[in-house]
Chains A and B, each alone.
Chain A
């Protein structure tokens, strides 16, 4: 059924998402030139079936905007997003709607993700109703199956519950079930466990892991490197709208090549109090995307920057097996 059976399911190339900056009253009256912020500034990556890519970065790095552009919930200003070979940006309303069945999203906040007036059955059935799929009995079967896939067993116990009767972890599973009802091929998970208690996170991540092994492609957005290291096949580290390092999860974690990645990994706290901390705490905070530094975006905070770094904007270059880094010093 796929047009592009051999290649990756999702291919993002040169993605740019731009937001206008408010000029204020004075600016508008004085007709100051409109300025823009590139929340996503030339991002390229791909995800294959059964692969989990973790998009990691701090706030303001553009990971959420990237995910929304992938699903065409917002418009990309440049670049392309190809899903199964088809350019998502050029689709009309009808084909786009059909595409929604094949890629889905789950959000960070399980307490806000479900309509409080819908029972679980209605929430999970909604995508089927929206796309006019299946008869009553077929929908019931699909709902039950989706609940089971999300780990809510026995499903009958949950069908008539309201969200307020469920815990955070259970609600997130309902959201997952709702996204699975149509049998998507790509799932975008935006910080799926950051608002859940530690003891239930592994359960949710386990569900995503199981789905991945069954062939689902997953784009997981997270700020938690430990989770990414454990559950992702590949990790892409974003900084100020760009991917600065991307590769197999083990490679990025064990042999990071970008100074930002190295610094991030060094400051993530470990469980073992005896861990020898060698934290490279960067000074200051991520600069405002309005004032992007010249040359390499990271150079003002980089502990190993050389003069060339302020002049040249490095591109992603391969440094290992499917491992790419955007740093002038990476080769050495």
Chain B
């Protein structure tokens, strides 16, 4: 069996708070992404999904401290912090940011902004870089001639495509996309997701898609992980997550999402709110909101295998053979 492209082991991230305390934003996340795989990281606001992928890119602010292993292509990028991570940034793992449409410098042409990472990371220079920029734009569905345009001349959808092109500039093996379609219209969203799927298929690119939108993950990813309060609640193939969820949060999250195929079905709200992450959490973090909590839940559950490639952190699974 081929080793996974990306292996994250027990990742923790803390943020310093102004009053001297700490926010424990990511609490022991482990995941595995194979080459060319599309992996969805799902959760609501504050669950730590964006912080997780920022940690993979080493783009955390100075108030952050990180622990754990992030193994990419056999090497632990986090071993010596920035020093071991920097060589991989953009060359092996690149990111499309939330609000990428606004991530462009408004006074520089799109083409020049695509060339910049290539020259910075020594991938191409001068005319060769410009040619490659044109190719990248074509690949994401923008005519190469538009490289001379400024960002404001592009529509929102086109800028998002250009942001994807910029992420591909140095031919990475892994693409991290943070809410790439959140601010886009439904049709443009479909176009962008179609593009991402095509790119992963054509280039053998692995994709980690971070979003709160479960249906998008259900339709485009093969495996997914559901995050809650900085931890993994459940992870596995998306079909299994939908049809045989083993964590109440996964089940309730699907139930809270309206669906065109089930218009008459009941749409639930999950009462309460996620726990604060600036203090220790007693027991299962989901317990106050869970509809199936019982006595064992006062102890923190561990992520255990409940099926083939399917793990869940819930006491209800105790006694289920892996």
Name A residues whose Cβ lies closer than 8 Å to a Cβ of B.
58-59, 167, 197-203, 205-206, 223-227, 229-231, 249-250, 253, 263-265, 267-275, 277, 279, 281-282, 285-286
Contacts and interface: CB of A to CB of B under 8 A. Distances in A.
20 contacts: A198-B44, A200-B269, A202-B269, A225-B186, A226-B258, A229-B258, A230-B263, A249-B263, A250-B263, A267-B187, A267-B189, A269-B220, A270-B261, A272-B218, A273-B239, A275-B219, A279-B190, A279-B194, A285-B188, A286-B187
Given A271-B242, A274-B239, A282 B187 contact: yes
Interface in B144-200: 155-158, 185-191, 193-194
Given A202-B256, A272-B243, 17 more contacts: A58-B187, A200-B270, A206-B269, A225-B260, A229-B258, A250-B263, A263-B187, A268-B215, A269-B213, A270-B260, A271-B218, A272-B242, A272-B261, A273-B218, A274-B239, A275-B219, A281-B191
Contacts of B189: 267
Nearest to B189: A267
B268 interface: yes
Nearest to B188: A285
B214 A271 contact: yes
Q: Interface centre among A58, A282, A285, by most B CB within 10 Å?
A: A285
Nearest to B268: A202
Interface size class of B (residues with CB under 8 A): 35 or more
Contacts of B186: 58, 223, 225, 264, 267-268
Query: Most chain-A CB neighbours within 10 Å: which of B44, B187, B213, B215?
Result: B187
Contact of B263 (A203, A205, A229, A286): A229
A198 B256 contact: yes
Given A199-B44, A225-B260, A58 B253 contact: no
B203 interface: no
A271 B243 CA distance: 10
Contacts, number: 120
Given A230-B267, A264-B187, A270 B215 contact: yes
Contacts of B239: 273-274
A270 B218 contact: yes
A108 to B, nearest CB: 12
Interface in B101-150: none
A282 B239 CA distance: 27
Contacts of B156: 59
A205 B270 CA distance: 13
Given A203-B269, A225-B260, A250-B263, A285 B155 contact: yes
B260 A253 contact: yes
B252 A269 contact: no
Given A198-B256, A282-B187, A273 B242 contact: yes
A273 B244 CA distance: 12
B254 interface: yes
A167 B261 contact: no
Q: Give the most central of B156, B190, B242: most A CB within 10 Å.
A: B190
B259 A270 contact: yes
A58 B218 contact: no
A198 B253 contact: yes
